[in-house]
Amino acid sequence: MTVRRNRKVKILATLGPASEKKEQIKQLFLAGADVFRINMSHSDHETLNTRVKLIREVEKEVGRPIGILADLQGPKLRLGIFADTKVELTNGSRFSLDSSDKPGDTSRVQLPHPEIFGSVKEGDILLLDDGKVRLRTISTSADSIHTEVVTGGPISNRKGISFPDSTLSFSALTPKDRADLDAAVDADVDWIALSFVQRPEDVAEVRKLSRGRTGILSKIEKPQAVERIHEIIELSDAIMVARGDLGVEMPLEKVPGIQKQITRAARQAGKPVVVATQMLESMINSPMPTRAEASDVATAVFEGADAVMLSAESAAGDYPFEAVAMMNRIAEEAERDPYYTNIIYAQRAEPEATGADAISAAARQIAETLNLATIVCYTSSGTTGLRAARERPQTPIVAISPILATARRLALVWGLHCVVSEETGILDEMVDRACSTSYKVGLAKPGQRVIITAGVPLGTPGATNMLRIAFVGSDGLGGI
Judged by DSSP in three states, 182 sits in helix
433 is catalytic: no
78 is catalytic: yes
Choose the catalytic residue: 147, 277, 395, 453.
Answer: 277
Write down how long the chain is: 480
277 is catalytic: yes
Choose the catalytic residue: 37, 108, 409, 433.
Answer: 37
Q: What φ, ψ does residue 268 adopt, rounded to 5°?
A: -60, -40
Neighbours of 113 (CB within 10 A): 18
What is the chain's Cα-based Rg? Answer: 24
The Cα 3–Cα 277 span in angstroms is 27
The Cα 473–Cα 447 span in angstroms is 6
Q: Tell the burial category of 166 from Cβ atoms under 10 Å away from its Cβ (0-12, 13-18, 19+).
A: buried
Choose the catalytic residue: 51, 199, 219, 387.
Answer: 219
Choose the catalytic residue: 22, 78, 254, 329.
Answer: 78
Neighbours of 107 (CB within 10 A): 11
The Cα 52–Cα 412 span in angstroms is 16
CA nearest 317: which of 294, 271, 283? 283
The Cα 218–Cα 241 span in angstroms is 9
The Cα 26–Cα 289 span in angstroms is 23
The Cα 37–Cα 97 span in angstroms is 36
CA nearest 382: which of 161, 67, 140, 78? 67
- The answer to whether 263 touches 303, Cβ cutoff 8 Å, is yes
CA nearest 374: which of 296, 294, 441? 441
Q: Supply angle C-alpha 14, 18, 23, rounded to 5.
A: 90
Does residue 114 have a cis peptide bond before it, meaning omega lies within 30 degrees of 0? no
- Residues annotated as catalytic are 37, 78, 219, 277
